[in-house]
Amino acid sequence: MRVALLVSAAVFPLAVGPVPRAAASPQAAGAPAEKAPATLSPGKPLDYEFFKTRVQPIFLHKRKGNARCVSCHAGRTGFAVASLSPGATTWAEEQSRHNYDVASEFVVPGDPAASRLLMHALSAEAGGDPYHSGGQHWYSQSDPEWQTLAAWVRSGASEASGAAQVLDFEFYRTRVEPIFLNPRQGGGAAAGGVGCFACHTILATPLRLLPLSAGGKTWTAEQSRRNFETVTRLVVPGEPLQSRLLLHPLATAAGGSPRHTGGKFWTSQSDPEFLTLREWVRRRR
């Protein structure tokens, strides 16, 4: 489990303790240039009524051996739900609206595995994130509560950016994916030298790549296809400097986003990896 150790070293010091909302939310971490890409299809919003009546009670429920989600998350960390009003046993309408917005920030509509709201408190053995300060609350994806959360995530659909239709899959497979696998031995990132895949195959974030098969050093063509769908959602065709994929690992001083938990990998826009990604985003197939 060398990789897991590296990952924990890189992620956990930053992840421990209450964090300011802006720092913890994937959306809020973006530079102004990271605005939502122009879209072909508007997607489908997550179901609010389902959230209010079925999902919210989960945050209030007491599970054996654990504090309730609301005990820690009322007004704290990125997933900062509203505090209950004195004497109230549930949230009022306006508070529920707020909770819906906050919870949605940790969800990729249609994709439970990329949704931190579901994966963070799920045990790692069941496919969850390797660490959550608040403990493990579910030990299987067939837990009824987890299933309810998954049903909510599937009530929505991500916006189709159209990038998968215009970008070159072969270029992606032969030139872009190797960047994710680059082991970066000896460094390359301020936070330590691990490859993108070490984190991005096991952590629930929008860039959720498929795990490598046991013993596999690369992805199969079929797996690459599915990764391609995921990765193209983080790219605006023709606009490298509006593409989260390029901005997140790029040093802030070189025009990158303010912060990336995984560290900054490229110190300038002339880094060869950055240039490869730029070429991919600019060319049409």
> Cβ–Cβ contacts within 10 Å for residue 25, how many?
19
In which residue are the tokens 């069941």 written?
Answer: 126
Q: Does 176 bind ligand HEC (CB under 6 A)?
A: no
**Which residue, 218 or 261, has its beta carbon nearer to ligand HEC?**
261
Contact positions with ligand HEC (CB under 6 A) in 73-132: 73, 77-79, 106, 116-117, 120-121, 132
Nearer to ligand HEC, 155 or 230 (CB): 230
Alpha-helical (H) ranges within 54-123 are: 56-60, 69-73, 93-104, 116-119
Binding mask 262-281 for ligand HEC (x = CB under 6 A): x--x----------------
Contacts 24+ apart (CB under 8 A), 220-228: 221/173, 224/169, 224/172, 224/173, 224/177, 225/169, 227/177, 228/164, 228/169, 228/172, 228/173
Q: Which two tokens stand for residue 72?
A: 């820690």
Q: Rounded CA gap, 6 and 15, in Å?
A: 14
- SS3 assignment, position 32: helix
- In angstroms, what is the minimal distance from the CB of 4 to ligand HEC? 11
Cβ 31 to ligand HEC, closest distance in Å?
12
- Give contact residues for ligand HEC (rule: CB under 6 A): 7, 10-11, 15-16, 18-19, 24, 26, 29, 66-67, 69, 71-73, 77-79, 106, 116-117, 120-121, 132-134, 137, 194, 196, 198-200, 203, 205-207, 234, 244-245, 248-249, 260-262, 265
